[in-house]
């Protein structure tokens, strides 16, 4: 069997996420498979590289770890991403920097609770070059950029995918000169797209993306909304990075519990974020329906429907607050008792 190739990109600010993502992925991978972990290094310290190397050695199995220098300066004219940097664009570099036929890409804000070899071995549909899960919040190309959809003659309501977990056919992406096309797209349309390299992937590869089941990219807010702690997914922290404060809830507690299991210290989430969220909830429950009404009067029914959906979310958030707090306490207690089969020793 071919080795499973997994790629991530990180700098030191995201090292805690990188460490936990790699630990969880290796823990749940079929032990009979060889695995190559490629880390696009956008500024990791030597201490961080050594710590990750010790992790892969201690987890065991046939694991090869490689750090690949990623220079994000080629995206200098693109819209700045999270942390006021261009680090988020580094997955665009994968066809250019990693010489393998295909790989599974993971964002650093993921925890893996299923065997990635099942995704790596997936046969893509003819002419498709990527497989991903549809985005749970941005539902169409127009919700990213209607201007770009019109300029590129793409359907405004075309499916939109979250690129935090992807199977990528690098051979075909190289044949299509995707790296060069993405650089041109990002630099030429700077300020017109909302989601950085994810925008480039969705607009340039529209109709070339296979639709994956949601279990391969399950957003943390949906995990919080569950009635139980069932996993079996790749959990993606799509709102706030849990090691940078996060948002109070079962998904945050789960990350902290897993990080403790691999003996990586993570600060508890700030209680002030929960207080602020609760304080502004009534304002949002009023403001979004009013915005929806204004858009409907202007004839913008799509935007009206989107704002109505968000308004209903905040109305339900307020109405369900007592039962949600009780459920969170129960689920958090269960998570606190979870054990993970991680064979990593003390991080030093």
| Lowest-confidence pick of 144-158, 215-229, 261-275 | 261-275
Residue indicated by tokens 């304002």: 283
Stretch 92-109: mean pLDDT:
94
Confidence of residue 302 (pLDDT cuts 50, 70, 90): confident
Q: How far apart are the first and last CA of the chain?
A: 34
The mean predicted confidence, pLDDT, of the chain is 88
Beta strand pairing call for 161-169 and 130-134: antiparallel
Supply the pLDDT for residue 310: 84
Percent of the chain with pLDDT over 70: 92
Higher pLDDT, 58 or 116: 116
Q: Which two structure tokens, joined as six digits, stand for 348?
A: 């030093």
Stretch 131-152: mean pLDDT:
92
Residue indicated by tokens 């190309």: 141
Percent of the chain with pLDDT over 90: 59
User: Quick check: 345 pLDDT over 60?
Assistant: no
User: Quick check: 81 pLDDT over 70?
Assistant: no
User: Quick check: 271 pLDDT over 70?
Assistant: no
**CA-to-CA distance for 282 and 268, rounded, in angstroms?**
26
User: Quick check: 128 pLDDT over 80?
Assistant: yes
Q: Which two structure tokens, joined as six digits, stand for 55?
A: 């992790």
Strand ranges across the sheet with 110-112: 110-112, 234-236, 218-219
User: Quick check: 45 pLDDT over 90?
Assistant: yes
Contact 39, 107 (CB under 8 A): no
Stretch 257-263: mean pLDDT:
90
Residue indicated by tokens 């403001």: 287
**Domain annotation for the chain: domains and CATH numbers:** 4-216 (3.90.550.10)
**CA-to-CA distance for 237 and 219, rounded, in angstroms?**
6
Q: Which two structure tokens, joined as six digits, stand for 207?
A: 């109709």
Supply the pLDDT for residue 79: 65
User: Quick check: 220 pLDDT over 90?
Assistant: yes
Identify the H or E element spanning 164: strand 161-169
CA-CA-CA-CA dihedral for 125, 127, 130, 136, to nearest 10 = -70
| Lowest-confidence pick of 181-185, 202-206, 216-220 | 181-185
**CA-to-CA distance for 5 and 218, rounded, in angstroms?**
21
- Residue 39, phi then psi, degrees to nearest 5: -110, 115
Supply the pLDDT for residue 348: 43
Supply the pLDDT for residue 347: 44
Which is nearest to 6 in space by CA: 57, 68, 59? 68
Supply the pLDDT for residue 97: 92
Residue indicated by tokens 């003659």: 153
Angle at 244 between CA 243 and CA 246, to 5 degrees: 80
């Amino acid at each position: 069997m071919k080795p499973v190739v997994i790629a991530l990109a990180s700098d030191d600010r995201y090292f805690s996420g990188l460490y936990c993502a790699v630990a969880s992925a290796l823990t749940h991978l079929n032990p009979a498979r060889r695995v190559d972990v490629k880390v696009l290094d956008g500024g990791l310290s030597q201490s961080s590289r050594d710590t990750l190397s010790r992790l892969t050695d201690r987890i065991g199995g046939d694991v090869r770890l490689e750090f690949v220098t990623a220079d994000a300066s080629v995206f200098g004219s693109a819209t700045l991403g999270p942390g006021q940097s261009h680090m988020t664009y580094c997955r665009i570099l994968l066809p250019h920097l990693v010489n393998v036929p295909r790989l599974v890409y993971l964002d650093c804000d993921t925890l893996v609770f299923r065997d990635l070899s099942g995704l790596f071995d997936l046969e893509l549909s003819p002419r498709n070059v990527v497989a991903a899960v549809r985005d749970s919040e941005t539902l169409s190309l127009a919700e990213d950029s209607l201007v770009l959809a019109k300029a590129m003659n793409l359907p405004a309501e075309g499916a939109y995918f979250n690129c935090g977990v992807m199977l990528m056919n690098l051979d075909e992406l190289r044949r299509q000169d995707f790296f060069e096309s993405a650089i041109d797209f990002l630099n030429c349309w700077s300020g017109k797209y909302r989601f950085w390299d994810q925008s480039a992937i969705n607009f340039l590869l529209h109709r070339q993306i296979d639709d994956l089941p949601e279990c391969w990219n399950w957003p943390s807010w949906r995990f919080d909304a569950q009635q139980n702690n069932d996993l079996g997914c790749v959990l993606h922290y799509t709102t706030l990075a849990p090691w940078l404060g996060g948002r109070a809830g079962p998904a945050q507690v789960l990350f902290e519990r897993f990080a403790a299991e691999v003996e990586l210290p993570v600060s508890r989430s700030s209680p002030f974020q929960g207080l602020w969220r609760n304080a502004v909830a009534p304002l949002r429950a009023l403001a979004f329906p009013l915005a929806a009404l204004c858009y409907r009067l202007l004839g913008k029914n799509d935007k009206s429907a989107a704002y109505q959906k968000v308004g209903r979310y905040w109305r339900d958030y307020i109405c369900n607050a007592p039962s949600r707090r009780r459920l969170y306490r129960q689920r958090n207690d269960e998570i606190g008792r979870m054990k993970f089969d991680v064979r990593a020793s003390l991080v030093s």
